[in-house]
A and B are shown apart, each in its own frame.
Chain A
Amino acid sequence: MIIPSAKNAPRISLVTVFSAGFMCIMFIFILLSYFTFSRLLSFESTLTNVSEISLPHIIEINQLYTQAASLLESTDILSQSSSNASKRLAKEQLQSNLLNTRKAAKEIFKNEFLDTQLNTIAIELEEFSDLIDERQQTRDNIELLKTQLFELNKQAITVKGESYSDWTMIFSQAIVNVSTALNENKLQQVRFLFKQLKQQLSKLYQEERSETEKKLTSKLKNLLFGENGLEVLKIQYLRLAGRTIGKANFVQSLIRDYVTQLGFVTNKTEQRITKQVSYSAIETQKQIQLIGVVLIGGVIFLSIISFLFQQRVLKRISVFNQIVLTKSQGIELQTQLSGNDEITDLAITFKAFTETIELQKKKLEHLSMSDGLTGIANRRALDIRLQHDIKLAMRDKYSVSVLLMDIDNFKLFNDNYGHSAGDTCLKDISRIISNALQRDTDFVARYGGEEFICVLPRTSAEGAEELAIHIINELKAEALPHHYSDVAKHVTLSIGIKTTSPNESTTSELLIKQSDQALYAAKKAGKNRHSFYG
């Protein structure tokens, strides 16, 4: 049975359900696509940033580092240079390094103070180069004086026998001492040695010495202690050597400091990259979480939608299908199909159809089993009923009585009162007979023309006779006029009765035949009476 509870529920159309479901799926799909896409975009922008801004910057910084490193190297070569040529080459290399460094720096530091630092380095390098020149010059001068010194020594050796024999020895000793002093690298020691030399020379320059000796001593003295003598030069050289090393260290430290300052830029770049990447990482993490949530939500949502589809659509269609199937097999299924949508509509329509068919079938059945004029059962119905009753009576061993009735002189009635009156008469008779039947099991049918038949299960001959008398009496009481009858002034009936015995085996044809014989007997006996078969 379909219970159309649906009409009270708010209407949710399947179209709405399907549209909403698909819309949701689409929405989740778009959302996921959006998140993934936006993440890709942001990742791409980070990569672009790193590759287009940060990486070239790092490369530039590296170039500057390389240049600055070679600047350091060149400075080192310059400070090591021991000849004019090597110095010139070193300086040339230094100049080109400086130029390259400046070029590389220009790319990185735009109008920053580091530019002035580079100028300072250039000036310092220039001064350093001058210092090296000066040192070289001093060294050359010392070498020159040394040559003169050895020349002097040669001359001294040739001086013989002119004066004291020890002069040459002392002179040569002094020359050796000069060499010792020149090899010394501590100022005070140099001073000390030259002071000793001075004393030595004063021994050589004495009144008793020969003129040549005096001249040579004087020359030596001049070489050693003159305005640009070896002492002055040696002291100057030591100072310059110290200053050169100091300056070299200083310039190198200056260049190193300059390089270190690149740290500012590298730091900035590193911080920027780190910031970008960490921001990107945080964003990615957030979006991954979001995508995860959306994905889980989506899966749950899809499950819900599937469940709803299954519950609201598929299951109900299956229920409906079952209803239709069972109905087609003629079985009524007590199933409730809830909701308010197209399926319930279909179910309701189906129910309406089946009910109509049921009704029409009943009507048809009724029509085929009843008599069109009188409305009581017809001959077909009688056949079915009689057979049924006989079967039952034979099985249960009880009596069945059959009353076959025929209106007396009905042809005359029709002829005189007309067919329409005849039909009314037939209707009245069938009413009277129907009313006369006391039990539900009793049955009346129009047997043909003006003949009627009653089937009375579980009725004895006495019972059948009683009914027959009652019908005859009722007709009398009703007194339907029939002035052309040869029996009475009213319409009468003749009744043939056949009652089976409980063990009697019979057929409907036989029963009717037997009751017809009884009817014939009643007719013969003068009509308006009943007669028993046999």
Chain B
Amino acid sequence: MLIQKLLFVTTASLLLINTVVVATEKHLTLVYAGNMPDIGISTHGTYSNLASLLETVRAEETPTVFTFAGGSLGPSPLSSLDKGSHIIDILNTLEPDLMTLTKREFSYSEDELTLRSYEAAFPLISSNIYDPLTDNNLEGISSTYIAEKNDIKIGFISILDEEVVTEYLLKRLQVVDPRDVIQREIAFLRAQKVDLIALTYAKERDYYHTLLSENQIDFALRVLPTSEQNSTFQQTNKIYSVATRAPFVLLRMRWDSDSDNKNLMIDVPKLDRALLPGNPTTSSLIKKYNQRLNRLLGQQIGTWGTQINTSRNLVRTQEAPFGNLVADSIRGYLQTDIAFVNAGDIRGEKSYNKGDPITRHDIVTELPFRNTITGLFITGAQIKKALEHSVSQVQQINGRFLQISGLSFTYRPDNPDNQRVQTILINKEPIIPSKTYTLAISNYLANGGDEYSVFLNTKRQQASTQKQPLISEIVTRSIQQQKIIYPSIENRIKRITK
């Protein structure tokens, strides 16, 4: 009561001063969080920490807007089962004002995202997508959102990277060039008389800086892509980022509402996320989900017979024992001549010691995407083409790098494009370009994922009438049958350097 009175006095005095000297100053607290796909990982701050942060700032007088940045519906072990439902459920307890989308939200297809939108008691925003089915935005997704708090209105425009279509092989969705969209939405938001306009995005463009410098937008929120997370980043220049290792950021904003020059000031108080207390409600929900995850995936399926490492740098640049295990498993399942697994499918970034138990959870952590198996007929020449594509961006640690089974090859990374692959042996015999071989791969690759257009021109094996199983399930079953597994490097991929 006392505080309220004090505030009233302050506001009243401010109003008095403002009418005379300056325009009204408005305050807003913005919580921006995202890139939190795995509820099991607690290193960089959890949903429980976030809940307590929100509780604290919401208790303050200054209105709070909580924008969830996405990057969380997938991939993760639990998402591999519920396609992100649990994240929506947790977010429903955190009550975000809105959630913007990143590529990862499309991990389980656009239709699954639409289903999630009906679970979400908050709006999902993406400004530059077009669905021919609705002749508009994807069902359940809004193009813009105005968060209204007291007398404050903030408009949000969210831009999705166009790579989402190829990376996640979306069937219908089109990503529209952001430039026109942004201009249109800015005009719309201005018409709605919003106080501030925020732009959220992941991929950097010079254009956004221009928008900021021209004050067309007031500030930008960004989800850092995985590839940029190693560099240190600073919350400056009106662009505020979240990343896996810094999943939430608190922005204290103030501005002059009546003058032309808003003079927006944004403070970014340093958050020691580890010191944030947990929120009991959210904690118990997460605990429940983790128990459920354990119930679903805790079962031991085998034992590691050797030391295994699934780091991104390893699986995307060279033959990796885990890659061999996956490739061998799918080859064994379809009984094909050869098998390919794109390293981008292997996501664990973990290391296992000899003798460690293997749980279903481990496999789903390593293979979180719900890719199913596909059998193809492929010629020797096409295999060569695929392998060339595989080693075309090894330096960039690209996910297209293939882990293989049933064949071996050598390559010279320094050679020009399409001349890197040297000798290819299939079943210890030199490859015959005109011969047709059978190949087991994921439906993702078969549909041309990771820009493997070569697979689009192949004939598919007659699949059984039933749905094909997930690759992770095939690997799980293969491990179950072997009990102790000893995947090793077998000189399948040999790099020749000068």
A residues whose Cβ falls under 8 Å from a Cβ of B: 65, 113, 116, 120, 123-124, 185-188, 190-192, 235, 238-239, 241-243, 245-247, 249-250, 253-254, 256-257, 259-264, 266-267, 270-271
Within 8 A of A (CB), among B453-480: 464, 466-470, 473-474, 477, 480
CB neighbors of A among B103-130 (8 A): 115-116, 118-123
How far is B335's CA from A271's CA once the two chains are assembled, in angstroms? 9
C-alpha gap A486/B52 in the complex (Å):
191
* Residue from A65, A238, A256, A270 in contact with B121 in the complex, judged by beta carbons closer than 8 Å: A238
A186 near B121 with CB under 8 A, answer yes
Contact call A249/B121, Cβ cutoff below 8 A: no
How many Å from the CB of A348 to the closest CB on chain B? 70
CB-based contact B473/A239 at 8 Å = no
Q: How far is the CB of B331 from chain A (nearest CB, A)?
A: 13
How distant is B179 from chain A, measured CB to nearest CB, in Å? 29
User: B301 at interface (Cβ–Cβ under 8 A)?
Assistant: yes
Q: CA of A249 to CA of B112 in the docked complex: distance in angstroms?
A: 9
Q: Is the CB of B469 within 8 A of A260?
A: yes
> Taking A113-B299, A260-B467 as contacts, is the C-beta distance between A187 and B95 under 8 angstroms?
yes
Contact of A185 among B121, B299, B334 (CB under 8 A): B121
Alpha-carbon distance A263/B122, docked complex (angstroms)? 38
What CA separation (Å) do A17 and B96 show in the bound complex?
Answer: 104
A188 to B95, CA, bound (A): 6
Chain A residue at smallest Cβ distance from B149:
A192
Q: Is the CB of B83 within 8 A of A257?
A: no
Contact present for B92 and A187 (CB under 8 Å): yes
- Judge whether A254 and B295 touch: CB under 8 Å: no
Closest 6 CB pairs between A and B? A246-B85, A250-B82, A238-B121, A242-B119, A263-B469, A187-B121
In angstroms, Cα B93 to Cα A124, docked, is 21
**CA–CA, A264 and B472, complex, Å:** 12
| B119→A246 contact, CB < 8 A | yes
Contact with A along B83-109 (1 / 0, CB 8 A): 101101100110111100000000000
A247-B115 Cα distance, complex, nearest whole Å:
11
B299 and A243 within 8 A (CB): no
Complex formed: what's the CA distance from A469 to B225 in Å? 162
Q: Is the CB of B147 within 8 A of A188?
A: yes
Tell which of B97, B335, B469 has the most Cβ of chain A within 10 Å.
Answer: B469
Contacts of B89 in A (CB 8 A): 239, 242-243, 246
For B333, the chain A residues whose CB sits under 8 A away are 267
Among A65, A246, A254, the most chain B Cβ lie within 10 Å of the Cβ of: A246
Docked CA distance A113–B477 (Å)? 9
Contact of B81 among A113, A257, A264, A271 (CB under 8 A): A257
Contact A191 B95 (CB under 8 A): yes
Docked complex Cα distance between A314 and B118 (Å): 99
Interface string of B51-94 (1 = CB under 8 A from A): 00000000000000000000000000000011101101100110
**B148 interface residue, CB < 8 Å from A?**
yes
- Chain A CB within 8 A of B296 CB: yes
A245 proximity list for chain B (CB < 8 A): 85, 115, 118-119
What would 18 more interface pairs be, CB under 8 Å, given A239-B89, A253-B83, A260-B372?
Answer: A123-B295, A187-B95, A187-B122, A235-B95, A241-B121, A242-B88, A242-B118, A245-B115, A246-B89, A246-B119, A249-B119, A250-B81, A250-B83, A253-B82, A257-B470, A260-B466, A261-B473, A264-B473
A-B contact pairs, 18 of them (CB 8 A): A188-B96, A190-B121, A239-B93, A239-B121, A242-B119, A243-B119, A246-B85, A246-B86, A246-B116, A249-B85, A249-B119, A250-B81, A257-B473, A260-B467, A260-B469, A263-B469, A266-B466, A270-B464
Residues of A near B473 (CB, < 8 A) are: 257, 260-261, 264
Pairwise interchain contact B115-A263, C-beta atoms closer than 8 A: no
Cα separation A247 to B120 with both chains bound (whole Å): 12
* Bound-state Cα–Cα, A187 to B116, Å: 15
Whose C-beta in chain A lies nearest to the C-beta of B297?
A: A120
Most buried by A among B85, B88, B121: B121
